[in-house]
Amino acid sequence: MTAAAAMMLAACCNKQETATVDPADVVMQNILSRKSVRSYTGDTIPAAVMENLLKAAMAAPSGRDLRPWQMVVMTDKSLYETVFEGNFNMQKFMESGAVVILCADTTFTAPTREDPDGPAVTQVNHLWRDDMGAATENLLLAVEAYGLGACWTACYPYPDRMDPIKKALQLPPTVVPYAVVPIGYPATENQPKDKWDPSRVHYNRW
């Protein structure tokens, strides 16, 4: 059973039947069935679904709970040639139902740790990349749960991918486009890779 099917089952069954679905199985199935999907039907994604995908992204952990994310949802394909100028992944964007640009505000404003009672000052968030990776993976897992497909495409740290986005969307100077994720209804059959490798696990010593 796919994670999407298990979730639908949990949603439509009565309480007694729902109890037979082990939440751990649903979550493990979701994580292990996630895969990059690179071809889509072009159908639009319902607004309510998109909101839940973004909710999942924003549920990610973040250092000091600073939540640096800012999400730009692109659906107007007439803008893509400008926003994603020269991007190798253009065909995926064009075929998708929506493209989410996960951006990060790399600064935050708060009193310093040295002087918690002092004035708010703007500081660099050294962990924004980590936070954004977590948010991106959360988004991909939610996409999988809805039976949709997506592909994480690199943006940061490549200037040739970031600059057209920054310019076209007029991002504030402290905001970095981190990842670009086309999302859509899969146009192809896609299988997850089995990446489990026990030799990568080290118990108590290398």
Ligand X SMILES: Cc1cc2nc3c(=O)[nH]c(=O)nc-3n(C[C@H](O)[C@H](O)[C@H](O)COP(=O)(O)O)c2cc1C
CB closer to ligand X out of 35 and 166: 35
Cβ–Cβ under 8 Å, residues 26 and 6: yes
Please, what is the minimum distance in Å from the beta carbon of residue 1 to ligand X? 20
Q: Which is nearer to ligand X, 9 or 166 (CB)?
A: 166
Give me the residues that bind ligand X (CB under 6 A), please.
35-36, 38, 89, 151-154, 193
Give the C-alpha separation, 140 to 37, whole Å: 10
Whole-angstrom distance, CA of residue 152 vs CA of residue 180: 6
We find the least distance from the C-beta atom of residue 122 to ligand X, in angstroms, to be: 28
Taking the complex as a whole, the smallest distance from the CB of residue 206 to ligand X amounts, in Å, to 25
Residue number, 7 or 181, with CB nearest to ligand X: 181
Pure H helices in the chain: 3-12, 15-18, 23-33, 47-58, 80-83, 90-95, 128-145, 159-169
In the chain, count of helices (H) and strands (E)? 8, 7
Query: Residue length, the chain?
Result: 206
Which of 14/177 has CB closer to ligand X? 177
Q: Which tokens sit at 128?
A: 């924004």
**Cβ atoms of 98 and 74 closer than 8 Å:** yes
Three-state DSSP at 55 gives helix
Q: How far is the CB of 123 from ligand X (least distance, A)?
A: 26
* 151 vs 171 by CB, closer to ligand X: 151
For residue 20, the minimal CB distance to ligand X (Å) is 30
